[in-house]
Every structure is written in C-alpha cells, then in structure tokens.
Amino acid sequence: MVFLNIDHPKYHLHRIPELRKESFNYFTTMQTITFADLRKITIALLLAGILWSCSDQPAMEAQDDAPASQAVAEKSEVPPPPIEGMVWMQGGHLQREGRSADLQGFYVDATEVTVKEFREFIEATGFQTEADAYGWSGVFNRKTQTWDPVDGANWEYPIGPDGPKAAEDEPVTQVSWNDATAYAKWAGKRLPSETEWLWAASQRGEQKFLNWGDELLPEGKFMGNWWQGIFPYEDSGDDGFLGVAPVKSFPPDANGLYDIGGNVWEWTNDLRYPSDQANPNPEMVIKGGSFLCADNYCAGYELDSHQFTPKDSGLNHLGFRCVKD
C-alpha cells in the first residue's frame, strides 16, 4: 500500500458554518490507498497541473531576456525617521519571472508579530479571534501525520489546551487573515502585498533563491527554521527546533529582517484569484514557509514559493508580519 499525506495549505481547515469539522476528514487525515488509486490520483494531478499552468500563473509581461531576479536602479530616496521594531525598505523596481512592479518605500516589521505583541492588542481591544469564536483550530499532529481540528486551540495554546502555552517571544499563530488584519489596523499598519513581501525578503530584488543567499546552509549554518528530513515522517531538528522557534533565533538578513524564510508562514494581502473579491472566504496568498517545510515537499522558504489558504484559516504554523507606508 501507499500512504498519501496531504499537507498543502489548500486543504487546511475552512471554518465557515456550513462546512463542519467532519467535512475535512478526507483532506486532513492520512489516506491509505492502493496503487490503482494512486494512478487515478496521479492522472488527476497531471490534468490539474496542466489547467493550473494555463490559468493560475501570474500575468507575465513582455521582457527582453531579463534575468529571473534583477533589481533595477531606483531613484534616490531620503530614508524617513526610524520606527522601533521596523526596517525601512527603500522603493525601486522588482523584476522577476512573471512579475514586474515599481514599489514605493515602506516599513516592514523586523520580526513576525509575537505572542506578546498580539496579547497587548487583545487586552487593549477585547478582540476575539476566529479560533476562539469557533472553539477550535487546525493543528498538525506529528504522530498521526495529519491536520486535525483541535478544540480549544488558539493563539495562546496553539496546539490545544493540553499543550504548552505559547511563549511570549514566539511568533503568534492560530490567527486568521481577518485576525491579522484587525491587529494591523489597530497598530496603524497593514498586511503586505505578495510583491512587497518579495521585495523585502529578496533584499530589494538582489537575492534569487533564498532570502539569505543562494546556499541553503552557508558554511554549514542554519539560517532559518524548517523541517530536516523526509516530511512528514522524520524531522531531525538539526536546526535546534522541532516546532516553532522564538523570533530572532537565527541571524538577520543583510537588511535586518528576521525569520522571513521558515519558522511560520506569513499572511499577505493578496487574493489567490483576483476575481474572488465577492467571495466571503477566498483563498489568500501566504509566503515564507514554516517549520513544516522540507526539501522533499513544499520548500516554502524559497523566495518564489507561495501557497494559499482561506481567510478564516487558523493553523499552528501560520502567522504574519506587518508593513507601514
């Protein structure tokens, strides 16, 4: 028999009322399938890939053999006054495969929003997260290798009330896009677009592969938190962590940003499908990868990698950072 594990954020737990927990069992449990079933699935995935390649790629603009990643000289900008905990990102022109954009300068959080920062927001506003409102949230179970809806899982107890309380210096998780947007508005900030996120993570277009360079382990050193081993079967934890890491556990990038590759996925403000404006719970683009990303699977820590998950998703490997104009 062949074991098929589905960990793509596309299959994470929606929480709209008409879709109860039971409806996710197919997508969030380890499926046991025969080779005949696998052949059918493979054919279906190939067909889906063909359709995706035709319809789901970013719109490409005509380019004169431009490099995959290229920073074009930008006009001189006088950096504005510093903001504590944020990094000023000078504007310019981003040119990558399938993406061409002019950006104005903006501030970006040096780290992912922490549990401590999110707690201040909750205490100041009395805000109730969607995980708390629904009474459950999505947790990856390493023993069963499945995504499970866990009662009581929330931003304070990301793997559920029977697990440890989140440390104050960890990135906050189990927050939906709506929760993250509410925090950003309270803080006088906003969520980044995917292009802004990429501009910051790629050192204003200078890096092609990873936010810290072209080598996964420069001089044998870990530069971020991801899964070491064959996902989802074994994680050696060679980077020092078997789950989420406190912010600033790894060296910052040259521009002063921490953990923008690995640790937890980060919400952006971009819809997967721009035509989904009227959809009450559309899929949103998430970036950066997480401690569940491995070379053999999603490799989400690579700059051009992205995934998608519904606005109401709460997951123990998904957080956010903010930007400010």
Nearest to 118 by CA among 71, 69, 169, 165: 169
- What's the CATH code of the domain at 248? 3.90.1580.10
User: Which residues sit opposite 4 in a β-bridge?
Assistant: 31
The Cα 295–Cα 250 span in angstroms is: 19
pTM comes to 0.78
Mean pLDDT score, 71-75: 43
Taking CA 198 as the corner, what is the angle to CA 193 and CA 199, rounded to the nearest 5 degrees? 95
Mean pLDDT score, 137-144: 94
Mean pLDDT score, 278-288: 95
Mean pLDDT score, 197-214: 80
CA atoms in the 13 A half-sphere facing the CB of 115? 19
Task: Report the pLDDT value the prediction gives residue 77, as an integer from 0 to 100.
Answer: 65
32 pLDDT more than 90: no
Task: Report the pLDDT value the prediction gives residue 235, as an integer from 0 to 100.
Answer: 87
Task: Report the pLDDT value the prediction gives residue 298, as an integer from 0 to 100.
Answer: 79
Task: Report the pLDDT value the prediction gives residue 11, as an integer from 0 to 100.
Answer: 38
Percent of the chain surpassing pLDDT 70 = 76
Strands of the chain, DSSP E: 2-4, 31-33, 69-72, 86-89, 92-96, 99-103, 106-109, 136-141, 146-151, 265-271, 283-287, 307-310, 318-319, 323-324
Mean pLDDT score, 122-143: 97
Mean pLDDT score, 88-113: 93
181 pLDDT more than 80: yes
Number of domains in the chain: 1
Query: Over the stretch 259-280, which tens digit does the pLDDT of each residue have?
Result: 999 899 999 999 999 999 899 9
Taking residue 123's Cβ as centre, other Cβ atoms within 10 Å add up to 9
Give the rounded distance of the alpha carbon of 148 from its chain centre.
Answer: 19
Task: Report the pLDDT value the prediction gives residue 53, as an integer from 0 to 100.
Answer: 37
pLDDT range class, residue 44, cuts 50, 70, 90: very low
Answer yes or no: are the C-beta atoms of 268 and 287 closer than 8 Å: yes
Answer yes or no: are the C-beta atoms of 103 and 91 closer than 8 Å: yes
Structural domain of residue 172, as residue ranges?
2-324
pLDDT range class, residue 301, cuts 50, 70, 90: confident
38/119: higher pLDDT = 119
Angstrom CA distances, 203 to 69, 79, 199, 221, 238, stand at 11, 16, 6, 20, 26
Angstrom CA distances, 175 to 41, 76, 97, 290, stand at 32, 38, 31, 15
Bond before 232 cis per omega within 30 degrees: yes
Nearest to 186 by CA among 325, 322, 315: 322
Q: Determine which of 7-11, 132-136, 300-304, 317-321 has the lowest per-residue pLDDT on average.
A: 7-11
305 pLDDT more than 60: yes
Identify the top-confidence range among 26-35, 215-224, 308-317: 308-317
DSSP string, 3-68: EE----GGGS----TTS-GGGGHHHHSPEEE-HHHHHHHHHHHHHHHHHHHHHSSPPP---SS--S
Answer yes or no: are the C-beta atoms of 252 and 264 closer than 8 Å: no
Task: Report the pLDDT value the prediction gives residue 28, as an integer from 0 to 100.
Answer: 39
33 pLDDT more than 80: no
Q: What is the CA radius of gyration of the chain?
A: 20
DSSP string, 165-195: PPPTTSBP-S--HHHHHHHHHHTT-BPPPHH
pLDDT range class, residue 297, cuts 50, 70, 90: confident
Answer yes or no: are the C-beta atoms of 287 and 301 closer than 8 Å: no
